[in-house]
Amino acid sequence: MHEEPVLVAQAFAIQFPLLAMIASGFFFGRRLVMDESTLVTVIADWFMPLLIIQAIRTSRFEVRDLGDLVLAATIITAVMTVVALLFTRLTRSKASEVMMPIMFMNSGFLGIPLLFLWGGDAAQSTAIIFDQAVGIYMIAGGLVICTGRLSVSGVARLARSPLLLAVVAGFLLRLVPGDLPRILSSTLEFSAGVASPLAAFTVGVTIGHNRPEWSPRLAAGIATRFIMGAFSGWIAATVLGMTGRTAAAVILLAALPSAVFSYVLPARYGVDSSFARSMVALSTAFGLIVIPLIIMILG
């Protein structure tokens, strides 16, 4: 009888630290001059790589689990690519303007801290591996979507990404016999703790800086991101035979709001990013309601 209110309270409690950081970013982003691109760069090129190294170095997972998560990210990206193409055709939009925020979820800045709060270190490791796989598709696919081609320089830039280099470093450190010197391990642990709160703070700054432009197309885009995102996650989990918390984590990650990068990259290449910017802001805002509902359903 009282189970539903308890689930609502639990879902809110899981999200509250994240919401507090997003709200603080929104508050300060509206009142202070903050360079959003600087915040994103500092997180993506320094603190998030440190978190990745620490999480991979200390996590316990099998090679099979790693392969399943990469396959799950691949299936979800493939399904959402088809969905985004259909959305483009039905709304008579330009693919370069609308596809990325439909296809790609905020599995990094939002997903990693959320999964940690939801399921602890194990769930956070799942989010990190999943996010790296999706990140490769987002950068490579985004370059094709925005420019119509994937250049050699684009591939080289992808290979030099601090995030991908951090993944390699994390796995190499797992091969090192024994523990790291205490001074190094404590520095990694201390620094990695900055990434998730700062990422959530930056999402709030993004919302504060960018006033959404509401339209029927935007409403359809937000609904598509959540509903078809969750559906693509369910497809991936079912095809791969995932169960329990792993399946729930994949579905939750797939259903997250649009990725911040989905408007950063189009803007970088001169594409009109007003739809993508509004998708990021409003899908994140609606996520405050949708994410607890998904957590309740998944249990």
In this predicted model, what pLDDT tens digit does every residue of 83-93 receive, in sequence order?
999 999 999 99
What pLDDT is stored for residue 80 in this prediction?
97
Tens of pLDDT along 93-106? 998 889 999 999 98
What pLDDT is stored for residue 272 in this prediction?
77
What pLDDT is stored for residue 128 in this prediction?
84
Is residue 162 within 8 Å of residue 46, measured between CB atoms? yes
Is residue 271 within 8 Å of residue 146, measured between CB atoms? yes
Residue 2 has pLDDT above 60, yes or no: no
What pLDDT is stored for residue 254 in this prediction?
96
What rounded mean pLDDT belongs to the chain?
83
| Residue 247: pLDDT band with limits 50, 70, 90 | very high
| Residue 12: pLDDT band with limits 50, 70, 90 | low
Beta bridge partners of 105: 258
Q: What is the mean pLDDT of residues 134-163?
A: 74
Q: What is the mean pLDDT of residues 241-253?
A: 92
Q: Give the highest mean pLDDT range of 2-6, 14-18, 63-67, 92-96.
A: 92-96
What pLDDT is stored for residue 37 in this prediction?
76
Domain boundaries, given as residue ranges, for the chain: 14-191+202-298
Residue 1 has pLDDT above 50, yes or no: no
Q: Give the highest mean pLDDT range of 5-14, 155-164, 172-181, 186-195.
A: 186-195
Residue 253 has pLDDT above 50, yes or no: yes
> Which residue in this structure is represented by tokens 């080289």?
156
What pLDDT is stored for residue 235 in this prediction?
97
CATH of 14-191+202-298, one of 3.40.30.10, 2.40.10.10, 2.60.40.10, 1.20.1530.20: 1.20.1530.20
The whole-angstrom separation of Cα 283 and Cα 273 is 15
The whole-angstrom separation of Cα 116 and Cα 84 is 29
Q: Give the highest mean pLDDT range of 26-35, 97-106, 155-164.
A: 97-106
Instruction: Report the 10 Å Cβ neighbour count for 19.
Output: 16
The whole-angstrom separation of Cα 293 and Cα 284 is 14
Q: What is the mean pLDDT of residues 231-235?
A: 97
Tens of pLDDT along 31-82? 998 887 788 778 878 887 888 788 778 776 665 677 899 999 999 999 999 9
Rounded to 10 degrees, the C-alpha dihedral 70/73/78/81 comes to: -140
What pLDDT is stored for residue 231 in this prediction?
97
Residue 188 has pLDDT above 80, yes or no: yes
What pLDDT is stored for residue 149 in this prediction?
65
SS (H, E, C) the chain: CCHHHHHHHHHHHHHHHHHHHHHHHHHHHHHCCCCHHHHHHHHHHHHHHHHHHHHHHHCCCCHHHHHHHHHHHHHHHHHHHHHHHHHHHHHCCCHHHHHHHHHCECCCCCHHHHHHHHHHHHHHHHHHHHHHHHHHHHHHHHHHHHHCCCCHHHHHHHHCCHHHHHHHHHHHHHHCCCCCCHHHHHHHHHHHHHHHHHHHHHHHHHHHHCCCCCCHHHHHHHHHHHHHHHHHHHHHHHHCCCCHHHHHHHHHHHCCCECCHHHHHHHHCCCCCHHHHHHHHHHHHHHHHHHHHHHHHHC
| Residue 11: pLDDT band with limits 50, 70, 90 | low
Is residue 163 within 8 Å of residue 132, measured between CB atoms? yes
